[in-house]
Every structure is written in C-alpha cells, then in structure tokens.
Amino acid sequence: MFENLTERLNNVFTQLRRRGKLSAADVDTAMREVRMALLEADVNYGVVKDFISRVRERAIGIEVSKALNPAQQVIKIVNEELINTLGNPERLNLSGSRPCVIMLVGLQGSGKTTAAAKLARQLRAQGERVMMVAADPYRPAAVKQLETLGEKLGVPVYSEAGIKPPDLAAHALDKGQKGGNTVLILDTAGRSQLDNTLMDELTAIAKKVHPVETLLVVDSMIGQEAVNIAKGFRDAIPLTGLILTKMDGDARGGAAISIRSVTGVPIKFIGTGEALDALEVYDPGRLASRILGMGDVLGLIERAEAAFDQQQSQKDAERLLAGDFSLEDFANQLRQVRKMGPIAQVLEMLPGGMGQLARQIDPKDAEHQLKMTEAIINSMTVHERRRPDVLNASRRRRIATGSGAEVQDVNRLIKQYRDAQRMFKNIKKSGTRGLPRLFG
C-alpha cells in the first residue's frame, strides 16, 4: 500500500545523508518533498500541515544542530512524529460481564463479515469461547457467508430468520450466556451510504446488548472518503475503535495516516490480506517503520512463530547444519514459509534493501515459483525425495511431466538443493567464514 510513499521518502532521506551539516534551507527543501509525498499519498491536508510543522521545528532546533549525524537525526524525528500522528495503540476491551459483545459496523463492501471471522479466529487463539452473530438479514447470502466462515474456523454462528436485528442480537446474547461463550461478535448490516435507518438500527442493537466494543470496519482503499465515513459514524454512534481492511491493496495509504488524527477514534486492527489469519493488531511504531522502509522485523518474527513448529524447526536446523537434509525436509520448510503469507509481503517486512527487492518482485510470479517447486517435489517418490542422488535423466523427465514443469525446472531445483547442502556444510566447518567462499 505504501510503495510510492516509501520510495519518495527514501529518496528524500538519501539526499539528506549526502550532506554533512544541515542548514535551515536543506531542511526546508526536504520538508517540501515530504509534504508533496504525503499529499500524493492522499494524507489529509491538515494532518500534513501539522506534521511538517512539528518536524521542521525540531529539525532546525538544537537537537539536530548538535547531532553527530544530522541526517539520521532528521529521519529519527520524522519517524517519531509519524508515530505520533498514527496515534497510540489501544487494545480490545474485554472487561465486564460475559459474554463481551463486540459490534462490527460499516458500509456495504467494507469487509465486515470477513473481519468478523478474522477477529473470531484471533480471539479463539487467545482462549476465548467465541460465537459470531449473523445480524445482517438484508444483504443476499450474508448469513450463508458468515456460516461458511464459521464452519471453516470451527466457530459457532447464530442466525434466526424473520426477526429484526435488535431482537436477534438479544436472543444471541441470551444463548451465549447459557452456552458459556465469552465473546459475541455481531456482524451487522451495512448500507451503500450513511443514512438514518442504518444508524437507528445500530443504536437499537446497542441498547439491547450493550457492546463493550463498537468497531467501525473501513475499506482503506477508498482514501480520504474512509476518513469522512469514520467521521459520519462517529457523529452518530459511540465508536470505540477502527478496523482498516485491505491494507495489502494498491491504494495510496493516506487514510491510515490521517484517520486517527481527524476522527480521534483509535485504530485497533489492520487487515493485510484475504486469508483468515491476515489481521494484525495495530502498532503505530511498526507501521511507521514499514512506511519509512525500515521493515517490521517484530511482525516477521511473530508470523514465523505462528507458522513454524518450533520443535520440528530445531530438528531441521540440526540436520541442515549437518548437511543431512532431504528434499522432503525442503518441502516441509517451504510449506511453513508459505503459511507466513505472500512472499512479497514477507520480504516487505525486512529492513533495508530487501523491502526494495520485494517491490521489484511480481507477487503472482513469486507465488507461482513456490507452488511449482512444491509440485516438483510432490511428484517425486519418497525414495527420490530422501535420496536425490538417484534422480537420473529418465526420472527427471517423469517428475517434470507429473508436476507440469519443464525438465530444466527440475534440474534448477536439484542444483539449488545441492548448493544449499554445500553451504550448510561450509558453515558447519568454518562458521560464517564459509559463506564468502560459496558466494564470493
């Protein structure tokens, strides 16, 4: 989402690093570029004005003039003020009597139903007994969609035909209390635009079930209109937080930077993909790092911990260093890496040049290559995976045919496997000194 903004800001920072001591004119030039980059990213004009004013005041002040590295100090100030603009992180409030009711609201097409399932998955992983409530009787197939998602997650879904949403919510609360549920997630109806009927219905539901959280789900790809929608809902009903969806899209991203400052409503989650595990707890520091091209190493570690079997990974690491790993092990590692999400998205979370590399990668091509590699390995027999040395020309032709690949694709995979085997043997023998001999 922030690809263009990140690139523009990094160009500004590169120019600053080329200078020694920074003059007020240097800072003003940099701030003009930062201002244009933010405005082009669809950040609210008032937010940009305040942000630039704060950065400039600090950048030409004593804290930069006495800094050993003025350029790095300015970048640090930009990072700190961006975090300040993005707002403080706030967590879900799950206090009070059980079940706690979380009401999701928003316009049609914002992603409420999918967000409900993602949130249910996350809360269940934290030990909560979750039930989802299909409180949208108007959109065709809305109930069926939630039931399908609930079945996939193993989370119960409450629905009731021919009853108004406020009464349905009350019945769901009663069932949740009797069934020992600790959290109820209400997927309420949306409209194509803000209207009194929608707000009256949401108010009536809130009076019946007294939600501890009323979260507005907003499509971040609609830019500044997302800010206007948030203001409209905030003025009509008491919002406690926001969920920004489709943050993995190709929008300019300004809504994410503007929305907290303009509305005063905290962002609590961001949706980073279509998969049910693609929901992140909002962390302004980590988002700022990604915007500025510094990566999100903590986020990457969390993804890895969620995707990888720790005990198995330890055993695999020992075998890797012994040079005693097979293509079967390689396939298992590949499947775990793919659980972390799209490869381009994972690379973007790395600092430095890897984020730039991610922006040069065609995500579809990267995913295709991973699937092709897995298909090639799956087309081998168990014996072939464990003893790749037996792969003669006829076996390779059979594997290529079975996986829909070319023989050269199979040859390339075998070469990569052998190169990796040699690399890990070198590391075992001489530590990291073995790396230059392999790649030098």
In a domain, 352, yes or no: yes
In a domain, 142, yes or no: yes
In a domain, 290, yes or no: no
pLDDT of residue 99: 95
- Of 60, 86, 112, which closes a domain? 86
Q: Please name every residue paired with 267 in a beta bridge, in sequence order, or none if there are none.
A: 242
pLDDT of residue 439: 33
In a domain, 206, yes or no: yes
* 196-209 helix and 165-179 helix, angle to the nearest 10 degrees: 30
In a domain, 323, yes or no: yes
pLDDT of residue 347: 57
* Distance, CA of 323 to CA of 413 (rounded, Å): 17
Of 154, 114, 159, the C-alpha closest to 134 is 159
Assess whether 313 and 261 both reside in one domain.
Answer: no
Assess whether 222 and 339 both reside in one domain.
Answer: no
Backbone angles phi, psi at 311, to 5 degrees: -65, -45
Assess whether 265 and 118 both reside in one domain.
Answer: yes
Answer whether 198's CB lies under 8 Å from 190's CB.
yes
The sheet carrying 267-271 orders its strands as 157-158, 130-135, 183-188, 100-105, 213-219, 241-245, 267-271, 279-281
- The Cβ-side half-sphere exposure at 343, using a 13 Å CA radius, reads 17
Using alpha carbons only, what angle is made at residue 392 by residues 391 and 394, rounded to the nearest 5 degrees? 110
Q: Please name every residue paired with 192 in a beta bridge, in sequence order, or none if there are none.
A: none
In a domain, 293, yes or no: no
Task: Encode 170-199: b = buried (16+ Cβ within 10 Å), e = exposed.
Answer: bebbebbeeeebbbbbbbbbbeeeeeeebb
Of 134, 135, 105, 102, the C-alpha closest to 119 is 102
Assess whether 246 and 274 both reside in one domain.
Answer: yes
* Full domain range(s) for residue 222: 100-283
pTM over 0.95: no
pLDDT of residue 440: 34
Assess whether 259 and 394 both reside in one domain.
Answer: no
CATH number, domain at 75?
1.20.120.140
Could you say which residues of the chain have pLDDT below 70?
Answer: 1, 65-68, 249-253, 293-324, 335-364, 366, 424-440
In a domain, 294, yes or no: no
